[in-house]
Structure 1
Amino acid sequence: MKIGVVTFPGSLDDSDARRAVRIAGGEAVELWHGDADLRGVDAVVIPGGFSYGDYLRAGAIARFAPVMTEVITAAKGGMPVLGICNGFQILTESHLLPGSMIQNDHRTFRCQDQVLRVENASSAWTNGFEVDQEITVVLKNQDGQFVADEDTLDRLEGEGQVAFRYLGTNPNGSSRDIAGITNERGNVVGLMPHPEHAVEEGFGPSLDGRTFFTSVLQQVVSA
């Protein structure tokens, strides 16, 4: 199965995401921001970093890259799409996910191992987990505070679209401790922490991140 990983100017974690795909058993395909071609992939990862230098707002310029026009169309058609950190920001700017990402409430960059609780284990990227399972992955961000109006937050909660929640101290002030969400269909997931940094023994705090990538491979095979 082919999983495309988008590279923007300023992407930092695209190579890590491709490595995670390969470790999970998939074929990683590099997608360039300026190309309006998804190259026949079965799923897409939008990685972390500082796309286009995070000018204006984080993810605001990347949303208009030619490749994102194709990603948006494919996502609306059901293709699995995962946005990690800056990728999550891009997904909200693209309106594939609700809400927005703003600067951490403490106004500083945060880098640490982060415990999450799995809230949704039925999406394309989370079906290998169990609800209420606790996982540990890496967190590193400056604009990681997820915000939305109360009606949107209530809808996300009520419809099971909260995918992950921070455990322990909320690292960035995100509303209701939300670390990641999914769309209604369950094919698009965005989260602030970095599962691609927790896929290999000796590198990262756990192997918990590998399940994101094995989940989507299983979803594609079963589709």
Structure 2
Amino acid sequence: MLIPIENVLSNDEVRQFRDVLARATWQDGSQTAGTLARSVKQNQQLDDGSEAAVQLGNHVLRRLGSMPTFISAALPKKIYPPKFNRYADGGTYGAHVDSAVMQVPGTNITVRSDLSATLFLAEPDEYDGGELEIEGPFGVQCVKLAAGDMVLYPSSSLHRVTPVTRGARIASFFWIESMVGDEGERSLLFDLDEAIQALTPLTEPDDPRLLKLTGVYHNLLRRWAST
């Protein structure tokens, strides 16, 4: 399930991010790729331990913690610290699947990648190419969102970033371990929660139908969640 989330960052926040990133030192992104991915990865990344990466990554995490749509869709248990990349001058990332389990650098914490996230930091008209192509059961979906918007998608998906032929594509990316590891179960919970939220303003708080639906949601979450 592919879920876009708008306005994770405001326009002012995007400008602040871009100012910091314009002064940052970028490294060859292939240094952080696995053996197979290294041959198809051509981009730049920030050093995860740099002041810019830590500062901006923490800001992203604070914003996500206050976003009901993200919490409902991801049901996050752990989040890998946000990373930052840049594609320009033909930069691309060929078809790959994200690693299933990742260790947070400098810690003994591991994160199972249930969901991948890309937070766009450049406007679509700033660059040509750079589409995030995600393969799913209904074919390939192309994603190129406004700056400040984010997309969530299954980490198990085969995906790629098409070559950037003009300008620069700048983004943050990270992975989420969900309390509900099964994609189908997590999608059902998200759909049910969205329906409940849509019905809530249309009914009385003590409406037995709404209470029953809410009970079903929490009982399913209780059954499926791993905390």
TM-score normalised over the length of structure 1: 0.23
- Flag the structure with higher strand content: 2
> Which gives a bigger RCO, structure 1 or 2 (Cα 8 Å, sep 6+)?
2
TM-score normalised over the length of structure 2: 0.23
- Flag the structure with higher helix content: 2
